[in-house]
Amino acid sequence: MRMGMSIVENNAFSLPDGYPTLHENSSWWHAITLAANRAKEALPHAEVRVERARQLVLDGRIEIVHSSLAKVTSSRGTFYTSLINGDCTCVESGRRNTWCHHLIATWLYCSCRLYLQVVQPSS
């Protein structure tokens, strides 16, 4: 993990599907705001990337493929992010030793799901 910010928190990726879709539930807005603020604190020089990532999440562009892989569909194509070691298949990630906005988006998405699991248990 490059930036000391773990993507995987408390096995967030095994959560069941079926959460309210974005824009249907204001809890998502609250969750994404909290998560984005945390990401900005952890990555103080990446505010632009955090905002791009937040928009990807709000647009529903993040899909968990399986327990260790997410798919991010951005305007420049489809990329795959690892939930284990913080890798991304995009060029930006390979060129710069830092978190690309796909990885940040994946982290935001998973943080939101975890947050809603805690605040609004589905049972």
Smallest separation, CB 7 to Zn ion (Å): 13
The residues of the shown chain that bind Zn ion, judged by CB under 5 A, are 79, 88, 90, 93, 100, 102
Nearer to Zn ion, 74 or 111 (CB): 74
Nearer to Zn ion, 19 or 107 (CB): 107
Smallest separation, CB 103 to Zn ion (Å): 6
Nearer to Zn ion, 35 or 116 (CB): 35
Burial 59-73 (b: 16+ CB within 10 A, else e): eebbebeeeebbbbe
Smallest separation, CB 113 to Zn ion (Å): 20
SS (H, E, C) 45-88: CCHHHHHHHHHHHHCCCEEEEECCEEEEEECCEEEEEECCCCCE
